[in-house]
Structure 1
Amino acid sequence: MADYTFGPHKIDHNDVFYTTDLLYAFVNLRPVLPEETSEMWITAKRIGNMLENYHKASSLTFTIQDGPQAGQSVPHVHIHIVPRKVGDFENNDDIYDAIDESDKNLKKKLDLDKERKDRSSEERVQEAEEYRKLLSFEPES
């Protein structure tokens, strides 16, 4: 099985838990043509529903960061799907500030990357395997 690429980054095939002919979804280390856009959002909705149920969340935040001023760190279209629960942020909309890396004042107060640690390959593979089961998806051989 070949690895995938995400902008300049290589994604191990074991981290991928869902693929179609046009896209793939993978677990995070720390996803145009009209049909690609449609398929991307249909897939994001399917994965979002699975994540919301799996994490016992009550809502989801979908974000796309398009360009460096929007906080995009990988020059490739992708969607972040964040399961949300009551009280996960003091003010609900603070999640957008947390995501917006270009806001330097907020970055001093709330820099999520300072406390985030890269997960091991084993941790990512285990998570991807759980998600595959929930989506009834078998990776290509």
Structure 2
Amino acid sequence: MAVEYYDFGPYKIHHSSVFHTTDLSFAFVNLRPVVPGHVLVCPKREVKRVADLTDDENIDLWRITQKLGRQLESYHNSSSLTFCIQDGPHAGQSVPHVHIHILPRKSGDFENNDDIYEEINEKEKELKRKLEVDIERKDRSLEEMAQEADEYRKFVL
């Protein structure tokens, strides 16, 4: 039987938003991307901190991140990548499940390159507030996210 949802901390990620899986990890499109191609990679097992990953999970997570980063950079005609991990609540981690942000970067996408980290933090805080309280959301639809995931599945072998 196919998986309908993937656990991401206390949240459920619909399978249509997931575009790559291994035995240990999965990658999915972002509900509120900071830049085009902003995706997340995380272990299937709910792990709160990087230090709690097994060696196999750590290797798999970074192997997928490296592979997808290269493919997303090419797909989005980018020249660079930002990889971001917030490891623990005081580091800005809003979902207590290890995850790596992959963000394809282009010249001029942010006036100051480091502003992207503040944008990520703001998006995560905003998402957490919206998920905790049932307010009208401006998130992407499941259909929009599924369409993006379908595009990425084409190049993930």
Q: TM-score range by the shorter chain?
A: 0.7 to 0.9
- 1:44 matches 2:65: yes
Identity %: 62
Runs of 4+ with deviation above 4 angstroms:
none
The TM-score, its normalising length taken from structure 1, stands at: 0.82
Bigger Cα Rg: 1
Between the two proteins, the alignment pairs up a number of residues equal to: 127
The TM-score, its normalising length taken from structure 2, stands at: 0.74
Per the TM alignment, residue 117 of structure 1 is displaced from its structure 2 partner at its CA by 3.0
Q: Which residue of 2 aligns with 1:91?
A: 112
Of 11, 17, 20, the match for 1:18: 20
- With over 3 angstroms needed to count, the CA separation of the structure-2 counterparts of 1:75 and 1:26, relative to structure 1, is same
Q: Does structure 2 retain, via aligned residues, the 8 Å contact 1:71–1:99?
A: no
Per the TM alignment, residue 112 of structure 1 is displaced from its structure 2 partner at its CA by 8.0
**Bigger proportion of residues as strand:** 2
- Supply the distance in 2 between the matched residues of 1:128 and 1:40 (Cα, whole angstroms): 18
- 1:4 matches 2:25: no
Q: Which residue of 1 aligns with 2:94?
A: 73
Unaligned runs of 5+ in 1: 102-106, 137-141
- Supply the distance in 2 between the matched residues of 1:100 and 1:18 (Cα, whole angstroms): 25
Unaligned runs of 5+ in 2: 33-41, 43-52, 128-136
Per the TM alignment, residue 36 of structure 1 is displaced from its structure 2 partner at its CA by 0.8
Q: Does structure 2 retain, via aligned residues, the 8 Å contact 1:98–1:112?
A: no
Per the TM alignment, residue 98 of structure 1 is displaced from its structure 2 partner at its CA by 2.8
